[in-house]
Structure 1
Amino acid sequence: MLVVTNVDDLGLHPAVRRAVDKLAACGVVTSSTLLANGPDLSESVLLQDKHEGLGLGAHLNLLRGKPISNPDHISSLVDDDGLLFGNYSSLLLRYVTGRIRLSEVEKEWSAQIEYLLDHKVRLTHFDSEKHIHAWPGLFTLAGRLAKRYGVKWIRKPFEHTPLTRLDKGMMRTRFLQLCLAGSFPDKTPRTASCVWGIGDQKDNFDPVLFEKYIDIYQPEIIEIVCHPGDPATNDGPLPSEFGPMRVEKQWKEEFNSLSSKGWLETFEKIGAVPVNYGQINPLTGEIL
């Protein structure tokens, strides 16, 4: 079994970069995805060459901050200030009522991908802010962009949850399962068998729960989705133009879990080999 441990939101804030740096150094984190419009992007891309085993992907974004495209060219995606809307529920409502133009989504995501390529990022895969690329129609679009730019892997945010589970984590995973049920991706780009870490976050982000998940579902390739951060006293706040974000509340708990709860020992126990997507052959699912 292969396990990709991916940190979302790299480029958002120095705390995320600091966490990726430390956790990649000890081998527990193998992958991270970059926000093209993140204020810490320039410093964050340097981690690509600092850590040989760290793969970097694109964290496609329709939700937060200033777009990479000219706001006048993507009017269905921005508010009166030219910013992405910053509110998940509002964006979802606009999408389901047909007020988001897919051509403009393609334009903005393409601009983000090209911006990262201009920063010399060797993209290993795509995922997205709040898993928005899983919405019906957008998963296929993200896959088409992956093919266009030669990216072989994409996150399919499908996490198994038992029918008996009744909590917020279950609601998140069930909603994404419903979204993905309407998607019909091709065989390429490739996806992991499933993910873990969407339903179990913060204090539930624990290797004991991960091991139980593996025992039940036995995936060949699994991605752990996580949001650690390592803030310092002199750090500034999250960027105000990104709107309200709850991810800061996950930072310390998930960083502490990854750095001190024996994840590498758990991987060894269950026979999971830590890799990034760039190290997996998309045709065979084996290590290159």
Structure 2
Amino acid sequence: MELIINADDCGKSKEVNEAIAQFIEAGKITSTTVMANMDDLEGAARLFDKYKESVSFGVHLNLTEGHPLLYSNMLIEKGLYVETENKIVFNLNSFRNKIMSVDIRKELKKELCAQIEKIMDYGIQISHIDSHHHIHTGLLLLPMMPDLVKRYGIRKMRRMRNYVPVASWANIALRNLWAQLIKLQNRKIIMTDYFGIYEDWHDGGKQVLPGSMILELMCHPGGAYQEEEIKLLETDFISLKNVKLINYKEI
């Protein structure tokens, strides 16, 4: 089994970037994805310059936390952006699985393009695409993905979360069905076979998937996931039989 450990939220803050650097140095993560609209994109660019030979750097599309890069009066009027304390912030969580008008989707797509282009402007070479709170797998944004990856030459994308060992059989069946539909729509895009949460894999006994399966696990160094960090640091990947650590550049 080939295993990608991806640190989400790179660029969110100096603290997150420092933690990601520590986990890269410790050999615990092989990939990370960058947020364009948060507090330390400059630090993310420095991480890329230092670790680009060994770690893949993707884009972490974000419409659920922080402020947009582009102003949109339409999205404010429709409630997808809100004004608070003289700032405009995202308010997309309640809309992520709704089908909106073509004009609204065009406005959102402009924001996503601005985020990708800003990361590229900082010299970061994008290996793959995923999103904050998995918005790219919801009904609102999913139809945009084929055009986005084609426009920017991004050939790889995180799949729907389908590694859920603690879920009910009905939940797993529905997730697998949705994952297959997403894969069908994005059949020209490369994805791993499975995607899940690092803690689920750790607590489930570090399950080795059969054959040449590729599993991506997400983690969040430097955030509010201290227990996850402890478990990640204690894992000796070298000692795990039939497990090979890779990054997104290698698939």
Shorter chain as denominator, the TM-score bin is: 0.7 to 0.9
Asked if structure 2 preserves the Cα contact closer than 8 Å seen for 1:63 and 1:91, the reply is no
In structure 2, the CA distance between the partners of 1:9 and 1:148, relative to structure 1 (3 Å rule), is same
TM-score normalised by structure 2 residue count: 0.84
Whether 1:259 aligns to 2:233 is: yes
In structure 2, the CA distance between the partners of 1:50 and 1:249, relative to structure 1 (3 Å rule), is same
| Structural mapping, 1:96-135, within 5 Å | 96=98, 98=100, 101-135=104-138
Segment drifting more, 66-75 vs 252-261 = 66-75
Specify the alignment match of 2:139 in structure 1: 136
Cα drift, residue 72 of structure 1:
2.9
Asked if structure 2 preserves the Cα contact closer than 8 Å seen for 1:12 and 1:40, the reply is yes
| Structural mapping, 1:189-200, within 5 Å | 189-197=189-197
Query: For residues 31 and 159 of structure 2, what CA distance do their matches in structure 1 show?
Result: 15
User: Secondary structure of the equivalent of 2:127?
Assistant: strand
Specify the alignment match of 2:61 in structure 1: 60
| Structural mapping, 1:30-109, within 5 Å | 30-51=30-51, 52-72=53-73, 74-75=75-76, 76=78, 77-81=80-84, 82-85=88-91, 88=93, 90-92=94-96, 95-96=97-98, 98=100, 101-109=104-112
Cα drift, residue 109 of structure 1:
0.6
User: Secondary structure of the equivalent of 1:5?
Assistant: strand
Q: CA RMSD in A?
A: 2.8
User: Secondary structure of the equivalent of 1:124?
Assistant: coil
Query: For residues 163 and 219 of structure 2, what CA distance do their matches in structure 1 show?
Result: 16
Specify the alignment match of 1:3 in structure 2: 3
In structure 2, the CA distance between the partners of 1:140 and 1:36, relative to structure 1 (3 Å rule), is same
Asked if structure 2 preserves the Cα contact closer than 8 Å seen for 1:205 and 1:254, the reply is no
Asked if structure 2 preserves the Cα contact closer than 8 Å seen for 1:136 and 1:180, the reply is no
Specify the alignment match of 2:152 in structure 1: 149
In structure 2, the CA distance between the partners of 1:275 and 1:181, relative to structure 1 (3 Å rule), is closer
Asked if structure 2 preserves the Cα contact closer than 8 Å seen for 1:28 and 1:274, the reply is no
Asked if structure 1 preserves the Cα contact closer than 8 Å seen for 2:74 and 2:104, the reply is no
Whether 1:17 aligns to 2:17 is: yes
User: Secondary structure of the equivalent of 2:82?
Assistant: coil
Query: For residues 20 and 10 of structure 1, what CA distance do their matches in structure 2 show?
Result: 7
Cα drift, residue 175 of structure 1:
7.0
More strand by share: 2
In structure 2, the CA distance between the partners of 1:259 and 1:180, relative to structure 1 (3 Å rule), is same
User: Secondary structure of the equivalent of 2:17?
Assistant: helix
2:206 to 211, 218, 236: 211
Query: For residues 177 and 90 of structure 2, what CA distance do their matches in structure 1 show?
Result: 25
List per-residue Cα deviations over 1:190-230 (Å, max 9, x = no partner). 11111121xx64xx562x62632x24x5552211111122x
Specify the alignment match of 2:247 in structure 1: 276
Query: For residues 14 and 264 of structure 1, what CA distance do their matches in structure 2 show?
Result: 29
Query: For residues 218 and 158 of structure 1, what CA distance do their matches in structure 2 show?
Result: 20
Specify the alignment match of 1:283 in structure 2: none
Query: For residues 206 and 13 of structure 2, what CA distance do their matches in structure 1 show?
Result: 30
List per-residue Cα deviations over 1:89-128 (Å, max 9, x = no partner). x334xx5263792112211111100010111110000000
Query: For residues 180 and 201 of structure 2, what CA distance do their matches in structure 1 show?
Result: 26
Whether 1:227 aligns to 2:220 is: yes
Asked if structure 2 preserves the Cα contact closer than 8 Å seen for 1:11 and 1:36, the reply is yes
In structure 2, the CA distance between the partners of 1:210 and 1:4, relative to structure 1 (3 Å rule), is farther
TM-score normalised by structure 1 residue count: 0.74
In structure 2, the CA distance between the partners of 1:194 and 1:148, relative to structure 1 (3 Å rule), is same
List per-residue Cα deviations over 1:166-210 (Å, max 9, x = no partner). 59xx96x7775565465342332211111121xx64xx562x626
| Structural mapping, 1:241-260, within 5 Å | 248-250=223-225, 252-260=226-234
Q: Given residue 37 of structure 1, which amino acid in structure 2 is its aligned partner?
A: N
In structure 2, the CA distance between the partners of 1:12 and 1:205, relative to structure 1 (3 Å rule), is farther
Query: For residues 178 and 105 of structure 1, what CA distance do their matches in structure 2 show?
Result: 26
